[in-house]
Amino acid sequence: MYIDPHVHMVSRSTDDYVHMARAGCVAITEPAFWAGYDRSSPQGFFDYFRQLTESEPRRAAQYGIRHHTWLCINPKESEDPVFAREVIALIPEFLKKENVLGIGEIGLNKNSRNEMEILEAHLQLASDHNLLVLVHTPHLEDKLKGTLLILDAIRRFPKLDPGRVLIDHVEEHTAKHVLDQGFWCGMTLYPDTKCTPQRAVDIIETYGSERIWMNSAGDWGHSDPIAVPKAQMEMRRRGHLESLVRQVTFGNPQRFLSQSGRFSAEPLRPTAPDITR
Amino acid sequence: MSEATPKLNHHSMTRTQVVDAYFMEHRARLLDVAAFLDRIDRAGPGVDDFRMNAYRNAIALLLDGKPERTRRILEHFSDPSTTPIPAAHVKGATGAHDPIGKAH
């Protein structure tokens, strides 16, 4: 049994839901993401937020998987601050939806001034509404700098408790920065560009198993929606206790996400397809 | 500010067990690195760009005998600047810091 706390299921097939359910996935959380192209209007985000809060939970439920989500405009679309603020203005009405856990995945992409302005606007929204925050850290050569800028930015919002903020996509050069400041951290298991399951387990062995989780971040690119059970296999291969495997792939995400008051990983009987839709 | 949690206080595998479990897999990956460099050579003469300069320098870090190679190699590939750039002109990343900034 496991939770995948970061996966973009709107980009995945029903076969992926089947494989995830068979591998033991009982709950997922889906942060708002970049579609692979820039949306042409804020109305495009309105439709996307409806997909995340209405149709995707129904699709997941057909496979016995509980679906939760996070809302934002992704940093890859934050370079136009006027546009981005129009999207952020749409978010409050969706915060009433029962599967919305908080704001995410916000953060930085290329570490630009406009991206920082929109990150701070999101942090203000989360602070005002006392919401959990899921943070994307930049890719590859931009990750270390971006992570440090993000940690500094969050500290400028004293109402945001680090214990309610998860910094995602950490690797060996950023995990300690995140954990030392009291934040949670997520490791993304990607074939090429982030952590392999082996390196993720190395990081747990190096930095401990508190305030840390693993996710697939499966999306429309080269990614693996059943990466988390592969990391479970890697932990077992090394002789780690089953209690530790369960802690980092179920107990830890459940503990962090339950702070929202809306998260559930209780068993869900698969529902029939809704043929009226 | 809290401290990071301590290392797990047991070693799940012995040194020999680690080699037994992972040698073949990483022998193959080492050959992939060698084959990649051979492929570049076969492609003809030329000058390494900033990515390959960083790559070859990273290989040297593997052999310096110091610990935490993964962290140090990731830092080696990273942008060392500390302030936001004026504007993002691309969305993607190249995998290595471009010291003359053409990749941004």
Domains of chain A: 2-260 (3.20.20.140)
Domain assignment present for B84: no
Q: What are the mean pLDDT values of chain A's consecutive 10-residue runs (277 residues total)? A: 98 97 98 96 98 97 98 96 98 98 98 98 98 98 97 98 98 98 97 94 97 96 96 96 97 98 96 78
User: A142, A179, A212, A220: which to substitute to probe chain B, counting the most B Cβ within 10 Å?
Assistant: A142
Burial, A23: exposed, middle or buried (Cβ in 10 Å; 0-12, 13-18, 19+)?
middle
C-alpha distances (whole Å) from A80 to each of A46, A83, A125 are: 17, 6, 18
Q: Do A115 and B7 touch (CB under 8 A)?
A: no
Q: Is residue B87 part of a domain?
A: no
CA dist., res. A198 & res. A234, Å (int): 6
Q: Do B82 and A172 touch (CB under 8 A)?
A: no
Predicted confidence band of residue B7 (pLDDT cuts 50, 70, 90): low
Interface list for chain B against chain A, based on CB atoms closer than 8 Å: 1-8, 12-13, 21-22, 68, 70-71, 74-75, 77-82, 84-88, 90-98, 104
The mean per-residue pLDDT over the stretch B74-88 comes to 97
Contacts of A170 in chain B (CB under 8 A): none
Interface test with chain A among B9, B14, B91, by most A beta carbons within 10 Å: B91
- Domain housing B65: 48-78
Residues with Cβ within 8 Å of B32's Cβ and at least 6 positions away in sequence, in order, are none
Number of domains in chain B: 2
Whether residue A141 and residue B97 make contact (CB cut-off 8 A), yes or no, is: yes
Place of tokens 């800028």: A149
Same domain for B19 and B40? yes
- The pLDDT score that the predictor gives to residue B10 is 53
Contact (CB<8Å) A182/B1: yes
Q: For residue B102, what pLDDT is reported?
A: 57
Count CB pairs under 8 A between chains A and B: 115
Q: In a 3-state reduction of DSSP, which class is residue A107?
A: strand
pLDDT of residue B8: 57
B68, part of any domain: yes
CB contacts of B93 in chain A (<8 Å) are 110, 138-142
Chain A residues inside the 8 Å CB shell of B97? 141
A182–B104 CB contact, under 8 Å: no
B19 assigned to some structural domain: yes
pLDDT at residue B2 greater than cutoff 50: no
Residue A234 CA to residue A251 CA, distance in Å, equals 18
Residue B54: inside a domain = yes
Alpha-carbon distance values, B23 to A247, B17, B37 (Å)? 29, 10, 21
Cβ atoms of residues A195 and A189 within 8 Å: yes
Is B17 a residue whose pLDDT tops 50? Answer: yes
DSSP letters for A183-209:
-EEEEEB-SSSSB-HHHHHHHHHHH-S
- In a domain, residue B34? The reply is yes
**B5 closest CB neighbour out of A34, A171, A208:** A208
Q: Closest to A79 (Cβ–Cβ): which among B88, B93, B98?
A: B88
Whole-prediction pTM: 0.95
The set of residues, in sequence order, having a beta carbon less than 8 Å from that of A105 and lying 6+ positions away, is A6, A31, A32, A33, A70, A72, A74, A134, A135, A136, A168
Same domain, B29 and B42: yes
Residue B103 has pLDDT above 60, yes or no: no
- B89 domain-assigned: no
Which residues of chain B make contact with A115, given a CB cutoff of 8 A? Answer: 84, 88
